[in-house]
Amino acid sequence: MKKNFTSPAGRAFLALVLVFIIGSIFNADGAFFKLGTHRDTLREMSVYGILACGMTMVIISGGIDLSVGSILALAAVCSAKMAIHWGYSGWLVLPACLIIGGLCGAVSGFLTARLQIQPFIATLAMMVLARGLSKYASGGMKVSTAIANPDGTYRYVNVPPFFQDIDHRILGGSFSVVTLIFIACVLLGWLLMSKHRVGRYLYAIGGNEESSRLSGVPVVGTKIFAYAMSGMFAAMAGICQAAQEQQGDPEAGVGYELIAIAMVVIGGTSLMGGRGGMGLTLLGVLTIGYLDKILSINAVPEAGRLVLTGIIIVIAVLTQRRRRT
């Protein structure tokens, strides 16, 4: 038992249990015990969680990806443009947006791995670039179901079935499709990191890049792959965001990269690279997601929420450090 709580997963799990205990005490007149609250919480954390999946791969490789929020916005705008304005089917919109996100990520990866630009700078540049592209593609306006005619009036179209399917509930309304997509992303990330060769390469590169190069790991290709995956996850998150808003907002996702990084770190994945995993990230996502919900149902004012969230992050990171010594 004791051994379980000293492992990284054990500690991350402990933090989640603690949050649940807090929720049970401050249950907002029983709102915390309703099934619907948990369904909503799982939906609300999903977009951040999908970003965190890609972020985990990049962080384990010893990098960081600041561009995910902007790529999310770009994918949101592009998917809304294609699905709402042009009426394309989901089978076309989904791969097209994933390719756009993947390409953005691959460019960051190329800048980092091949041209040796620090990940912080390379992805910062991509963050600015992708935000610009999303504003350019949308003309600075939200891409919504109100479409401007040339004479300045508007015509209205229905929300496309592709978006309705994503922002939908299954199992008698007890589970959101967005949450299902998030779980699929976690599974995909877990398979890549734990069962596939590329995962072993990423851990090796994050642990010691030079020695993995010397032992024949294809460092450049693997790193580009990690950033491209992060871009694709961000694009998936962007599609989910657009579907839930029923529009593509070029200003969406500002600051989301920091939430995603916090989720990864609270799970116990090391920012130094080489240590961590997708399961830990899932725990981190649940912890922050539930913390947010508990503060929300109790209608805690914004100032208090920020302070409490900050304190929790510090505590979580401090427990990690004790583990290392």
Partner 1 sequence: MNMKLIKILAYPSLVLAVIALTVGCRKSEDTQKANSPASSPPSQKQFVIGMSQCNLGEPWRVQMNADIAAAAAKHPELKVIFKDAQNDTLQQRAQVEEFAGSKVDLIIISPKEAQPLTEPVAEAMDAGIPVIVLDRRLLGGKYTCFIGANNEKIGKAAGEWIVKALGGKGNVVELMGLQTSTPGQDRHKGFLEGIAGSNIKVIFQADMQWLEPRARDEMESALARYDNINLVYAHNDDGAHGAYLAAKAAGRDKQMKFVGIDALPQEGIAYVKQGILDATFQYPTGGAEAIDTALKILHGQAVPKEIVLGTRLFDAQNVAQGGEDLK
Site residues, partner 1 (CB under 8 A): 28-29, 31, 34, 36-37, 40, 44, 47, 69-70, 124, 127-129, 131-132, 135-136, 140-142, 144-146, 148, 152, 154, 156, 167, 169, 241, 244-246, 249, 251-252, 254-255, 258, 292-293, 296-297, 299, 301-302
- C-beta of 85: minimal distance to partner 1 in Å? 12
Kindly tell me which of 28 and 198 has the beta carbon lying closer to partner 1: 28
Kindly tell me which of 30 and 216 has the beta carbon lying closer to partner 1: 30
- C-beta of 254: minimal distance to partner 1 in Å? 6
Torsion of CA 172, 173, 175, 180, to 10 degrees: 80
- C-beta of 24: minimal distance to partner 1 in Å? 15
- C-beta of 236: minimal distance to partner 1 in Å? 16
Rg (CA), the chain: 20
Kindly tell me which of 77 and 217 has the beta carbon lying closer to partner 1: 77
Kindly tell me which of 50 and 124 has the beta carbon lying closer to partner 1: 124
- What is the DSSP annotation of 29-90? TTGGGSHHHHHHHHHHHHHHHHHHHHHHHHHHTT---TTHHHHHHHHHHHHHIIIIIS---H
Burial status of residue 95 (CB atoms within 10 A of its CB: 0-12, 13-18, 19 or more): exposed
CA atoms of 171 and 176, how far apart (whole Å) = 9
Specify the pairing of strand 146-148 against strand 154-156: antiparallel
CA atoms of 46 and 169, how far apart (whole Å) = 14
What residues pair up with 146 in beta bridges, in sequence order? 156
Q: Tokens for 206?
A: 């994050």
Kindly tell me which of 94 and 259 has the beta carbon lying closer to partner 1: 259
- C-beta of 258: minimal distance to partner 1 in Å? 6
- C-beta of 280: minimal distance to partner 1 in Å? 24
The answer to whether the CB of 227 falls within 8 A of the CB of 114 is: no
Kindly tell me which of 22 and 127 has the beta carbon lying closer to partner 1: 127
